[in-house]
């Protein structure tokens, strides 16, 4: 089954404790992206990747890192989480460039930073 998976689905952590949210897709997609969803703000793009070893900042990259060492995986890293990073995070992928292909979304990761 074609899908985007994220782990964990729910995470409660404390300020300053490094964490990684994994994202994996099994569709051989080149484009992958991370978003955060906050009430009243919709989805905001954090980082995106056009292909392996190619990553670019979205609208809200501060406090986040990503890596794309393999095509299927695009982990989101919070080196020192803070409470303002409490949010619902979505990973997404599409076959090639964003504007011409359907973007498939993962189920979301709800992160709480205390």
Partner 1 sequence: GEDVEQSLFLSVREGDSSVINCTYTDSSSTYLYWYKQEPGAGLQLLTYIFSNMDMKQDQRLTVLLNKKDKHLSLRIADTQTGDSAIYFCAESGNNNDMRFGAGTRLTVKP
Q: How far apart are CA 99 and CA 76, in angstroms?
A: 23
**Residues at the site binding partner 1, with contacts judged by CB under 8 A:** 4, 31, 33, 35, 40-45, 48, 50, 56, 58-59, 90, 92, 97-100, 102-103, 105-108
Of the pair 58, 63, the CB lying nearest partner 1 is at 58
Nearest approach in angstroms of CB 1 to partner 1 is 15
Q: How far apart are CA 14 and CA 57, in angstroms?
A: 25
Identify the residue whose tokens are 């897709």: 25
Nearest approach in angstroms of CB 37 to partner 1 is 9
Nearest approach in angstroms of CB 98 to partner 1 is 5
Of the pair 3, 80, the CB lying nearest partner 1 is at 3
Of the pair 38, 80, the CB lying nearest partner 1 is at 38
Q: How far apart are CA 48 and CA 33, in angstroms?
A: 4
Identify the residue whose tokens are 């979505």: 90
Our measurement of the distance from residue 96's CA atom to the centroid of its chain's CA atoms, rounded to an integer in Å, reads 17
- CA distances to 2, 79, 110 from 37, rounded to whole Å, are 23, 20, 10
Of the pair 69, 102, the CB lying nearest partner 1 is at 102
Nearest approach in angstroms of CB 15 to partner 1 is 27
């Amino acid at each position: 089954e074609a899908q985007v998976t994220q782990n964990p689905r729910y995470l409660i952590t404390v300020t300053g404790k490094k964490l990684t949210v994994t994202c994996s897709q099994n569709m051989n997609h080149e484009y992958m992206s991370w978003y955060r969803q906050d009430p009243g703000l919709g989805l905001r793009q954090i980082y995106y990747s056009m292909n392996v070893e190619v990553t670019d900042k979205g609208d809200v990259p501060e406090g986040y890192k990503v890596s794309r060492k393999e095509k299927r995986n695009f982990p989101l890293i919070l080196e020192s989480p803070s409470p303002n990073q409490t949010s619902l995070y979505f990973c997404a992928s599409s076959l090639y460039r964003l504007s011409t292909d359907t973007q498939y979304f993962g189920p979301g990761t709800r992160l709480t930073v205390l």
